[in-house]
Chains A and B, each alone.
Chain A
Amino acid sequence: MNKNDVIMTILKGRTLIVLTLLVIFFSCASESFFTSQSLLLIAKHVALYGILGIGMTYVLVTGGIDLSVGSVVGLSGMIAGLLINHGFTMFGYTFYFSVPVIVLIAIFIGVIVGFINGIIITKFAVAPFIATLGMMYIARGAANLTSNGATFPNLVGKEALGNTGFEIFGRDIAGFPVAVMILIIIAIVAAMVLRKTPFGWHILAIGGNERAAKLSGVHVDNDKIMVYMFSGACAAVVGIIATSQLVASHPMTGNTWEMNAIAAAVLGGTSLMGGVGTIVGTVIGAFIIGVISDGMVMCGVSEFWQMIIKGLVIVLAVIIDQYQRSLQARMALQARNENK
């Protein structure tokens, strides 16, 4: 093992190393940090960014970006709130759905939004940044329209209407937050799909070299549409969890969360150029963001300093990423010359 190999190993494990160092640092800085209570609280926050980040990772891996996820969080939460408190009115009749149906409807809305994003990007050749920026405004507007900007409070449902139990997604089961369970399930499935299915290989190939992927027989357009649908679904799930945690839905929920999702993915080593990214990395990235935010709160660091530090961490992560990439390219060239 030469020097470059050692540096490479450290670089590859850097997200986990950074997370460990952060946990040690905050445990020393604040007595209340390393307790099961605060760790579970951090995990609950992390679950939201983590799930959004997983959807975002899929999009980034194809070389795209999805700015609409924060608004979809708000929209799906508002749809859920509307259906619980006021039901669905058609031809003068009002229907109330059970919670599982409401959840499915909210997720379906997220999928539809993603589908529209995908169609605009692939069939109309609009840059992902612009298409999803537009969708960001549209979905936020739609979220506000459901209630004219008001909050749907007290989303507990009524026994008589058979729509109780929505608050479960924000609670704990056997001392373990449901949100974190959902994160774990989504992360495992997403990681399996990315690493172990043809679809996963294909989207990595699209981000690596779209032309070559197309000529190799990859259904580039279809795969891209699927990726935005998945991102929309993840955002809708986060909307349900966030709404359930508050037991109320507010139309501005999820505002700017797309940035946290991108940050989590980038901190985890996903390349904005496409072709490179892992789900494990993104989940660790989400934990880094969560630990920094909540850790600093517990240490009494002002909100403004928190912003500055978060910003520095993200930029630093990308600088290190670039360094890793150039080192990798150099090592590949070296290996190639040795082969000769």
Chain B
Amino acid sequence: MSNEKDEIYLHAEKIDKIYPGTKALDQVSFDIKRGKVNVLIGENGAGKSTLMRIIAGIEKPSAGKLYLQGKEVEFDSTVDARSHGIAIIHQELCLFPNMTVFQNLFMSSERTKNGFLDDAEHRKLAKQVLARLNYPIDPDTMVGALRVGQQQMIEIARNLLIPNLKILIMDEPTSSLSEQEVDVLFNIMRELTATGISIVYISHRLEELMRIGDFVTIFRDGKLVADAAVKDIDVPWIVKQMVGEGKSYPKRDEAVDWEKTEKVLEIKDLTLPKNGGGYLLNKVSFDLHRGEVLGIYGLLGAGRTEIFECIMGMRPTHTGDVILNGEKITIGSVPEQISKGFAWLPEDRQRDGLIQTMNIDKNIALSNVGKYINGLGLIDKSRESAATDEMIKDVHIKVADKELPILSLSGGNQQKVVFAKGALTNPQIMLLDEPSRGIDIGAKTEIFNLIYQYAKKGVSLLVVSSELEEIIAIADRIIVLSNGIKTAELTGSDITQDNLVKASYMGHKH
């Protein structure tokens, strides 16, 4: 637990945030300590960004209170939060690429002289702040012409200009910075904390938070699960807290000797270069047997989703061999991959999985509707409808009328619709990316049962999950990715939380 001597600058008391269908934050009480680097960590959707958006005045909590130096406060907008000295640097940059560096720095806090913009003053102040950042860029450079890392520094500089800055929230500021730039940033952060400014730092890079953090707070599933002073802990402790060990699911236990079953898919040396150097995937090889559930585990950014994107033809720059049923194949477009027998359930259901303007029936049939045409080229509605009816029954979608809009379903049932869309194409291999994301516990179990049901039918499934308990329960075999490298392949009794956790940060060299 934290040291009592540290002054608490901001205190969030029992914050709830409820979105339709999900609870993003559940009774979270959180302290920001004055003059310290407060690190937040957790998987995507754990609730850390939501909490920061509340503190920065972007969103309002459904319940709970904020106290600034012991006084209750309520922020109606970012402007409101800024006037209290709270600033946020978003993961996605909020800059104007069509304007110059100094114009960006002083956007909406322009200095004027006789009612006109005082650009001489702007340039002078811009030079000062950039010098302070050790970043001598000409203030007249267009922001669009800068590299992403440089733009990140502009974003930071912009927040340093806020008069009486008290809390600076940084959401993954280093994701696009080079090593040197990270060093500069860390120096700035130390300089800021020395002057009494509190920093909230969100990052997925565990080695970084060990270097810069003073306090660490870990989020999981909308709850604050642990906090500690960084000097008291180590990386394995953090990973263990992140992935949790509370709930457990019945372990899938198939008495099958997978070595003796038929190999359906073989991936050899799958490599995907990253823009600007390095690799998203580095020589990843694995195989998949008929009726097997192969888990892919890894922390965020380990390359989990990228494997699926390569297989589905979304990443033409990849290299390596894909062998399907003993034959080497070339990866084509998405429709070609579907016709080869792949089906993909993407991670972000709303963005990539559903057509919100269409009804349930059409969403299910979308990938396969070309199969239900008669001699005139028209859709044979009775065949199409029979197929979707059967699918609805097969995957247990609870719906009274399949002509209802897709958004009238709960998250779990929406997910089953996406699953049904893939399953209807009669795939031999299903790629499931975080199939239980954003759905309640009951629906999760149903999704797992669906996975077993399809494995039993002879479909081979690749399942990405960032929840340890979940992947241990459902997978026959698990490969672990870390920083784009396959660091472990576990079967049988080797599948333990410790082994998975250990392998999940082995790819990081620091």
Which residues of A line the B interface, CB within 8 A? 192, 196-198, 201-202, 204-205, 207-209, 211-219, 274-276, 328-329, 331-333, 335-336, 339-340
Q: How far is the CA of A274 from the CA of B413 in the complex (A)?
A: 25
Which of B335, B367, B409 has a CB less than 8 Å from the CB of A336?
A: B409
Contact B409 A339 (CB under 8 A): yes
**Contact A198-B410, Cβ < 8 Å, known A192-B378, A204-B357, A212-B352:** no
Contact B369 A201 (CB under 8 A): yes
Contact A197 B377 (CB under 8 A): yes
A–B Cβ pairs within 8 angstroms, 8 of them: A196-B378, A201-B362, A212-B346, A213-B355, A216-B355, A217-B339, A217-B425, A275-B357
In the complex, chain B residues whose CB is within 8 Å of the CB of A211? 351-352
Contact B357 A208 (CB under 8 A): yes
Which of B333, B358, B379, B410 has a CB less than 8 Å from the CB of A339?
A: B410
**A318 to chain B: closest CB distance in Å?**
17
In the complex, chain A residues whose CB is within 8 Å of the CB of B398? 339
Contact B370 A336 (CB under 8 A): no
Contact A201 B366 (CB under 8 A): yes
Q: How far is the CA of A219 from the CA of B337 in the complex (A)?
A: 12
**Contact A336-B408, Cβ < 8 Å, known A201-B379, A214-B334, A215-B334:** yes
Which residues of B line the A interface, CB within 8 A? 20-21, 312, 314, 333-335, 338-339, 344, 346, 351-358, 362, 365-367, 369-370, 373, 377-379, 381, 398, 404-405, 407-410, 413, 421, 425
Contact A197 B378 (CB under 8 A): yes
In the complex, chain B residues whose CB is within 8 Å of the CB of A331? 408
**Contact A216-B405, Cβ < 8 Å, known A211-B352, A339-B398:** no
**Extra A-B contacts (7), CB below 8 Å, given A208-B357, A216-B334:** A197-B378, A197-B379, A209-B351, A215-B352, A275-B357, A275-B358, A333-B407
**Contact A335-B404, Cβ < 8 Å, known A201-B362, A211-B351, A216-B421:** yes
Contact B367 A217 (CB under 8 A): yes
**A167 to chain B: closest CB distance in Å?**
34
Contact B409 A215 (CB under 8 A): no
Contact A196 B355 (CB under 8 A): no
Contact B312 A208 (CB under 8 A): no
Contact A205 B407 (CB under 8 A): no
Q: How far is the CA of A87 from the CA of B378 in the complex (A)?
A: 40
In the complex, chain B residues whose CB is within 8 Å of the CB of A201? 358, 362, 365-366, 369, 379
Chain A residue with minimal CB distance to B335? A217
Contact A217 B334 (CB under 8 A): yes
Contact B20 A198 (CB under 8 A): no
Q: How far is the CA of A59 from the CA of B130 in the complex (A)?
A: 49
**B322 to chain A: closest CB distance in Å?**
18
Contact A328 B378 (CB under 8 A): no
Chain A residue with minimal CB distance to B336? A217
Most chain B CB neighbours (cut-off 10 Å) among A205, A217, A274, A335:
A217
In the complex, chain A residues whose CB is within 8 Å of the CB of B421? 216
**A137 to chain B: closest CB distance in Å?**
26
Contact A198 B355 (CB under 8 A): no
Shortest 9 CB-CB distances between A and B: which pairs?
A275-B357, A208-B357, A208-B355, A335-B408, A217-B335, A217-B338, A332-B408, A198-B370, A196-B378
**Contact A204-B21, Cβ < 8 Å, known A196-B378, A198-B370, A215-B352:** no
Contact B357 A215 (CB under 8 A): no
In the complex, chain A residues whose CB is within 8 Å of the CB of B358? 201, 204-205, 208, 275
Contact B312 A215 (CB under 8 A): yes
In the complex, chain A residues whose CB is within 8 Å of the CB of B346? 212, 215
In the complex, chain B residues whose CB is within 8 Å of the CB of A274? 357
In the complex, chain B residues whose CB is within 8 Å of the CB of A275? 355-358
In the complex, chain A residues whose CB is within 8 Å of the CB of B344? 215
In the complex, chain B residues whose CB is within 8 Å of the CB of A218? 335, 366
Q: How far is the CA of A339 from the CA of B381 in the complex (A)?
A: 27
In the complex, chain B residues whose CB is within 8 Å of the CB of A213? 355, 366
In the complex, chain A residues whose CB is within 8 Å of the CB of B314? 215
In the complex, chain B residues whose CB is within 8 Å of the CB of A216? 334, 355, 366-367, 421
Chain B residue with minimal CB distance to A220? B334
Chain B residue with minimal CB distance to A214? B334
Q: How far is the CA of A196 from the CA of B376 in the complex (A)?
A: 10
In the complex, chain B residues whose CB is within 8 Å of the CB of A214? 334
Contact A197 B373 (CB under 8 A): yes
In the complex, chain B residues whose CB is within 8 Å of the CB of A192? 378
Contact B335 A332 (CB under 8 A): no
